[in-house]
Amino acid sequence: MGERVAAMIFNGLGFVNTRLYMFPEFFRNKPLDRLFGRPIEPEYFNDDALGRCLDAIYDYGVTKLFTEIALTIGIKKNLLGKSVFDTTPLQLWGNTQKIILKIAQIMINLSKKTLFQFPSKGLNHIDMI
């Protein structure tokens, strides 16, 4: 499956938006043995095989897979350093129990399909009235 993912990446890096059923044709004139380190036929990258690969990635979890790959590369290439990044989207000051309760009440009242976003400047004060 890794070769199929690599094939889709190669296709994307070539700035070509080839449909899945066109992949074998896209790879027909490429040095596949050099790209993949072994002899491989372009028909290996047919739309059924690529579709099953994408389904497997979705079932596994796209974000989970990306995170695992990125972390592995970061560790192997020593890219992580010693920096600490705060990616917390929300910081609360004051009586956090009241604030969280208020947020929960708001969320319950919203439709499940509605996206609730906080202001990007953060919350310094929430009126509890």
Mean pLDDT computed over every residue of the chain: 75
Q: How confident is the model at residue 37 (pLDDT cuts 50, 70, 90)?
A: very high
C-alpha to C-alpha distance for 39 and 23, rounded to whole angstroms? 17
Query: At which of 38, 53, 76 does a domain end?
Result: 76
**Would 28 be classed as within a structural domain?**
yes
- Containing structural domain, residue 110: 86-129
Over residues 68-122, the pLDDT tens digits come to 988 888 888 888 766 555 555 555 556 666 666 666 656 555 544 444 444 444 4
Q: How confident is the model at residue 12 (pLDDT cuts 50, 70, 90)?
A: confident
Report whether 45 contacts 24 (CB < 8 A).
yes
With b for 16 or more beta-carbon neighbours within 10 A and e for fewer, the 51-72 pattern comes to eebbeebeeeeeeeeeeeeeee
Please check whether residues 72 and 99 belong to one and the same domain.
no
Please check whether residues 49 and 108 belong to one and the same domain.
no
**Would 81 be classed as within a structural domain?**
no
Q: How many domains does the chain have?
A: 2
Straight-line distance from the first to the last Cα atom of the chain, in angstroms, rounded to the nearest whole number:
56
